[in-house]
Structure 1
């Protein structure tokens, strides 16, 4: 394996100072030609959602990111969680190893969850040959992770190529004995209820990838923050048992007996933790109090991957204001958008430690997947 200096492109990128920094084109830099876009997507996700399995679909998107990170020795790389899948940008030198790891994940997910993961790699050089570009910016989160933003039309093209030309860009079916490391995958928070009235999952696609068309929307979102953040100290649920623990362990542990034993141990641990948390969370100097504050500000509830993707906790007046602005900008030919509403948000976590963690957010009952299908 080549040294992790392969990842210097991303580690050396300047960081956005705030949300409106997305409008500064100089913040985005072209990705190297010797990198590739990795696309993963849960096949037939609509059918699974209709069967009430969106959390299972949702949690299968997150392990892609975690498996790639662990396979690359924790190196920082650009990624976007999309609800029913994920997109990553990695050096070509890592593609073979990462592909072998993800083949194992795909086989395991099919066996344990009856869900099939579509996986493909598209070289950045191919994307440029086809007339698109891939530019990346990053935003530093307080707990150590970097939130990536993409523009240039590349991710939409890569997704299309993988789905339409799977024989060329897809990872072929294979028996893989490559060990998969999903350390850090945690799904121990129950669904986060809306505090303001409703959870809005929103996807906005500016015409011709012109981010300046989004300025009125970004101004409004900037005004609504941080109270529209769907994950805050006042609505994080201190409830037990963790309803999605089984899905986490199904992906992480193959042996059924050990999975049963591990679940029993974790149920005991999380019960004790819930009691300690409930009694100390209101103390801002306690471990629980500090962690609760850290979760919300280290969530990926607003990002840009050729589309603006955001999950918001809004009241009726705020949702009407947002919809009116979106309709106005749509009628002016500046963007397309899709919205899905639910009463709660889903959260899947990537936890290295109490000091380094990121929380991947989506709306419940379809979230980003349904918002994408409702794009107008």
Structure 2
């Protein structure tokens, strides 16, 4: 992960899902956003379209944002050959959308193979871009209202029954503070002063913009933010859109482990860390957390007049990527064999986008 470029990294990760959704608009496929990347499952019949789309997305990310996006397409049969699976369930945070939850160890194995260079799809030539219509990053970072933005990853170690009990306990703890833990305020986020400059960059293929275009874009963004702060209504049923935005945001997920980003008091973050440290000592899990003072929101809005727009949240100072790095360190510290090949393989098999 490029340090200090967290919003760009989030944009590149969400671009994967936006591009595939636009290339296959009538296909409902399970997917998950991981902060600096994304994973999804789709029928093999669409593999040629998906490879072409991902190649174009990688080209867009590198040419426009200067980020290298590694991509791979892996057959489910190869995952099953490892005695693993890709099990999928749906979680509906609202009546408008649902997000996929993955289990079975297949995604973690697939990511390890990607990082080892297997099944790689090369990027498209310079000048070739993906259709990223609907991808948006127009909101300002969302500051904590309760103390810290906590990004949390918990993965299984050993007995699945103990792990399931731990996850249920954590969810009960989070639910007991549910009204205050959502990363977004009830009224929704406010637009950034500078507008959606990343969308401009990734769609034009360049981060450069003329002064006139920059001034016009900033002027529009300033008017939008000022109107929001003063409570002046905008177009396209903005109040309804902002309510749906909060309801549709993906701030908790499960993909071979619990992942969530919440706004909570520092005291509650301390309680969660203490419980997870105890569970790790007991052999029930490995975990990683990261604290920051704000969150970033990346959006995919195919149509602002429909309610099925989706929104991905991550910590504004590293979020899931730094939580995953701390997960790796916890594994190394717990097993006490830092640097061994066996540990490296184990860490790679369960960590997420370090």
Q: Quick check: TM above 0.5?
A: yes
Q: Could you tell me which of 294, 317, 321 is aligned with 1:369?
A: 321
Q: Could you tell me which of 130, 133, 141 is aligned with 1:183?
A: 133
Question: Following the alignment from structure 1 to structure 2, what is the Cα–Cα distance between the partners of residues 71 and 278?
Answer: 36
Map residues 100-179 of structure 1 onto 2, 5 A cutoff.
Answer: 100-142=52-94, 144-164=96-116, 166=117, 168-175=118-125
Q: Could you tell me which of 199, 203, 207 is aligned with 2:157?
A: 207
Q: Answer whether contact 1:76 1:146 (CA < 8 A) is retained.
A: no
What is the CA distance between 1:178 and its match in structure 2? Answer: 6.2
**Cα deviation digits, residues 258-312 of structure 1 (max 9, x gap):** 887765554343333333333337x9xx944333332222111100000111001
SS in 1 for 2:172: helix
| Structure 1 residues 263 and 75: CA distance shift in structure 2, 3 A | farther
Counterpart check, 1:99 vs 2:51? yes
Q: Answer whether contact 1:79 1:86 (CA < 8 A) is retained.
A: yes
| Structure 1 residues 289 and 151: CA distance shift in structure 2, 3 A | same
Q: Could you tell me which of 288, 292, 304 is aligned with 1:338?
A: 288
Extract unaligned runs of 5+ from structure 2. Answer: 331-354
Q: Answer whether contact 1:295 1:359 (CA < 8 A) is retained.
A: yes
Q: Could you tell me which of 277, 295, 298 is aligned with 2:228?
A: 277
Question: Following the alignment from structure 2 to structure 1, what is the Cα–Cα distance between the partners of residues 98 and 214?
Answer: 31
Match of 1:227 in 2: 180
| Structure 1 residues 260 and 356: CA distance shift in structure 2, 3 A | farther
Q: Answer whether contact 1:206 1:214 (CA < 8 A) is retained.
A: no
Counterpart check, 1:295 vs 2:248? no
Question: Following the alignment from structure 2 to structure 1, what is the Cα–Cα distance between the partners of residues 193 and 121?
Answer: 39
Q: Could you tell me which of 314, 328, 341 is aligned with 2:278?
A: 328
Q: Answer whether contact 2:183 2:261 (CA < 8 A) is retained.
A: yes
| Structure 1 residues 123 and 260: CA distance shift in structure 2, 3 A | farther
Question: Following the alignment from structure 1 to structure 2, what is the Cα–Cα distance between the partners of residues 349 and 124?
Answer: 28
Match of 2:9 in 1: 57
**Cα deviation digits, residues 152-188 of structure 1 (max 9, x gap):** 1111000011221x2x411135538765210110110
Return the structure number with greater strand share: 1
Moved more, 174-183 or 76-85: 174-183
Moved more, 261-270 or 149-158: 261-270
What is the CA distance between 1:59 and its match in structure 2? Answer: 1.2
Moved more, 269-278 or 213-222: 269-278
Q: Could you tell me which of 207, 211, 216 is aligned with 2:169?
A: 216
Normalising by structure 2, we get a TM-score of 0.83
RMSD: 2.4
Question: Following the alignment from structure 1 to structure 2, what is the Cα–Cα distance between the partners of residues 133 and 216?
Answer: 25
Q: Answer whether contact 2:60 2:129 (CA < 8 A) is retained.
A: no
SS in 1 for 2:71: strand
How many pairs does the alignment contain?
321
SS in 2 for 1:322: helix
Q: Could you tell me which of 194, 201, 204 is aligned with 1:250?
A: 201
Extract unaligned runs of 5+ from structure 1. Answer: 1-44
Question: Following the alignment from structure 2 to structure 1, what is the Cα–Cα distance between the partners of residues 275 and 207?
Answer: 51
